[in-house]
């Protein structure tokens, strides 16, 4: 439990963009701190330059007037005292203050798991939207070209992450993208050359990956290139030599493994549905659906009907428009920033709440009465759905960052067996969209091929249970990875206990007079 608590209170920088401004502030402070170090160094260089100049001047004079007693005196004084002073001066460290400042910021710096989270975000995005490593590295994301790119070191680290997870074909593509990044203008900066990786390092790792993939030809070629870049590197030479021998002993090569294998590149494709991009065909039965003004589920709606799009009739899924104003969205987003923590979920295997890999986001729960904005949207949701908002769970404000997602799941908590013993479950779900997402981040129903892209102000609403109280398995859904942007949603789970008079249990849909819930629109 202590581990869970510790994990959930940690920053987990990659799981949301909410605290990105804090991170940018730390980066800004650190750069300022380094600048101070630079100034102190230049000041010191300036002092030394001045000192040398003075000494040379004096030396010239002393050489010409060496027999002058004053000169002799001053030389002795100088040699006895000034050089001691210089020793003290050189002993005085430069940058100690800046080092202490840097160390004081260590706690707010991203940790290794943040870095791994970020790498996971990129590969999840890559897999879901079927992106090529070289495209991502060049800023081409799911057919949209951005004015940004990854440096060789970023590609290499992603390649290493793939090696670590044993996804070698994908690793190969990332390393190739890294080699390509080297040839981009501006990439040969002194700092980059100093920090590495060197081109030879990239070719060397490429050789290792290809050898592992039993692509000996390719490995040999990579080592050759590595040696060309760094001819005196013994380690590379040994690898090269080993492969040369390997080639001689196994003449039957497998040239096809050397080919760029796009299938393998998107290795995580299976983990998430591949229609997050919304380009999949919608089933025929969903194509003829319609929109209408709802003025029936509450008397207030006669004055202010709610624009409602029916996305599916059975199970009932709808998109409700103008459900939350920009001002209310802003209020909820800004007030949640200080409370939001890495999202957790119940893991059946360990029987505990965990901050794990099924959800990459940050979130916080709020009562209906938390603020004016939550009170208002509670009321509006009650009006729009006809359900009793006294029987709901708290609102959950969620923010998704880089590659942020919510793995495919059902919102239900109980099995059919337990549900009918009087325990409350989630009869319906509403997801309010509080922001635009530049790219990606749809809510997707894989069993129906319905993809809903966040539109600020609208709310997605569906029933998780049918009229007899059974699971509606088709309502299984995914929060698709965000490609670019920040996704803000508020979810609301509506309990079944308490809705008996709004959405009564029924055997057939013929008896609908007493029906108050939103399905009244379609029956």
Ligand X SMILES: O=C(O)CCC(=O)C(=O)O
Residues lying near Fe ion in the complex (CB under 5 A): 411
CB of 396 to ligand X, least distance (A): 6
Nearer to ligand X, 178 or 485 (CB): 485
- Under the binding rule (CB under 6 A), the answer on residue 491 touching ligand X is yes
Q: Which 440-459 positions form the footprint of ligand X (CB under 6 A)? A: 443
Tokens 């790792």 correspond to: 205
- Under the binding rule (CB under 6 A), the answer on residue 479 touching ligand X is yes
Q: Where are the beta strands (DSSP E) in 277-355?
A: 291-294, 306-312, 317-320, 341-342, 345-347, 352-354
Nearest to 417 by CA among 482, 486, 471: 471
CB of 409 to Fe ion, least distance (A): 6
Question: CB under 5 to 8 A by kind: which of Fe ion, ligand X, none does 443 bind?
Answer: ligand X
Nearer to Fe ion, 33 or 128 (CB): 128
Total chain residues near ligand X (CB under 6 A):
9
Q: Are 210 and 219 in contact (CB under 8 A)?
A: yes
Sheet of strand 405-409: strand arrangement: 359-360, 405-409, 477-479, 443-445, 450-452
CB of 443 to ligand X, least distance (A): 3
- Under the binding rule (CB under 6 A), the answer on residue 364 touching ligand X is no
Candidate residues 431, 450, 483, 494; the one interacting with ligand X per rule CB under 6 A:
431
Burial class from Cβ neighbours inside 10 Å (0-12, 13-18, 19+) for residue 52 reads exposed
Q: What is the C-alpha separation between 303 and 295, in angstroms, rounded?
A: 8
Residue nearest Fe ion by beta-carbon distance: 411
Question: CB under 5 to 8 A by kind: which of Fe ion, ligand X, none does 431 bind?
Answer: ligand X
User: Widest CA span of the chain, in angstroms?
Assistant: 124
CB of 401 to Fe ion, least distance (A): 18
- Measured N-to-C along each axis, helices 96-104 and 20-64 cross at an angle, to the nearest 10 degrees, of 170
CB of 107 to ligand X, least distance (A): 30
Candidate residues 155, 489, 494, 516; the one interacting with ligand X per rule CB under 6 A:
489
- SS3 (DSSP) at 440: strand
Candidate residues 12, 15, 477, 503; the one interacting with ligand X per rule CB under 6 A:
477
Question: CB under 5 to 8 A by kind: which of ligand X, Fe ion, none does 489 bind?
Answer: ligand X
Nearer to ligand X, 218 or 479 (CB): 479
Question: CB under 5 to 8 A by kind: which of Fe ion, ligand X, none does 450 bind?
Answer: none
Instruction: Copy the structure tokens of residue 70.
Output: 């004053």
- SS3 (DSSP) at 90: helix
Nearest to 272 by CA among 121, 438, 490, 169: 121
Question: CB under 5 to 8 A by kind: which of ligand X, Fe ion, none does 315 bind?
Answer: none
Q: What is the C-alpha separation between 117 and 359, in angstroms, rounded?
A: 11
State the CB neighbour count (10 A cutoff) for residue 300.
14
Nearest to 496 by CA among 420, 417, 405, 443: 420
Nearer to ligand X, 176 or 398 (CB): 398
Nearer to ligand X, 152 or 489 (CB): 489
Question: CB under 5 to 8 A by kind: which of Fe ion, ligand X, none does 308 bind?
Answer: none
Residues that bind ligand X (CB under 6 A): 398, 406, 411, 431, 443, 477, 479, 489, 491
């Amino acid at each position: 439990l202590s581990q869970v608590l510790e994990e959930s209170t940690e920053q987990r920088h990659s799981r949301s963009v909410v605290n990105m401004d804090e991170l940018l502030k730390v980066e800004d402070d650190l750069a300022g701190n380094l600048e101070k170090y630079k100034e102190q160094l230049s000041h010191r260089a300036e002092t030394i330059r001045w000192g040398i100049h003075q000494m040379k001047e004096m030396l010239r004079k002393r050489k010409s007037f060496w027999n002058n007693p004053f000169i002799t005196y001053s030389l002795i004084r100088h040699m006895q005292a000034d050089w001691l002073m210089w020793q003290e001066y050189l002993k005085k460290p430069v940058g100690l203050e800046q080092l202490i400042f840097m160390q004081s910021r260590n706690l707010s710096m991203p940790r290794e798991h943040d870095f791994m989270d970020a790498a996971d975000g990129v590969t999840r995005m890559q897999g879901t939207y079927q992106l090529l490593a070289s495209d991502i590295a060049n800023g081409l994301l799911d057919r949209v070209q951005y004015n940004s790119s990854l440096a060789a070191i970023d590609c290499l680290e992603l390649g290493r992450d793939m090696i670590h997870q044993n996804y070698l074909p994908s690793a190969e593509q990332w390393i190739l993208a890294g080699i390509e990044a080297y040839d981009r203008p501006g990439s040969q900066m002194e700092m980059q050359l100093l920090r590495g990786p060197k081109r030879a390092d990239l070719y060397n790792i490429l050789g290792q990956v290809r050898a592992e993939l039993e692509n000996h030809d390719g490995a040999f070629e990579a080592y050759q290139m590595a040696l060309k870049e760094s001819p005196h590197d013994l380690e590379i030479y040994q690898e090269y030599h080993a492969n040369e021998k390997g080639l001689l002993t196994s003449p039957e090569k497998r040239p096809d493994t050397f080919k760029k294998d796009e299938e393998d590149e998107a290795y995580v494709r299976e983990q998430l549905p591949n229609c997050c991009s919304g380009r999949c065909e919608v089933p025929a039965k969903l194509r003829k659906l319609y929109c209408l003004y709802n003025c029936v589920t509450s008397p207030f709606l006669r004055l202010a009907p709610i624009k409602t799009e029916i996305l599916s009739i059975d199970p009932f899924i709808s998109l409700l428009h103008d459900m939350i104003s920009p001002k209310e969205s802003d209020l909820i987003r800004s007030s949640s920033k200080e409370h939001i923590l890495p999202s957790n979920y119940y893991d059946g295997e360990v029987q505990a709440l965990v901050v794990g890999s099924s959800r990459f986001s940050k979130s916080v729960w709020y009562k209906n009465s938390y603020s004016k904005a939550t009170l208002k949207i509670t009321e509006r949701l009650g009006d729009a759905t006809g359900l009793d908002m006294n029987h709901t769970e708290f609102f959950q404000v969620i923010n998704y960052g880089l590659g942020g997602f919510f793995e495919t799941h059902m919102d239900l908590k109980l099995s059919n067996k337990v549900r009918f013993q009087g325990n409350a479950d989630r009869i319906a779900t509403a997801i309010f969209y509080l922001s635009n997402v530049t790219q990606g981040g749809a809510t997707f129903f894989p069993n129906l091929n319905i993809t809903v892209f966040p539109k600020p102000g609208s709310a997605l609403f569906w029933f998780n249970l049918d009229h007899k109280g059974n699971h509606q398995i088709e309502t299984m859904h995914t929060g698709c990875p965000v490609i670019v942007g920040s996704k803000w949603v508020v979810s609301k789970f509506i309990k079944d206990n308490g809705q008996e008079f709004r959405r009564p249990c029924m055997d057939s849909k013929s008896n609908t007079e007493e029906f108050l819930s939103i399905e009244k629109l379609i029956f």
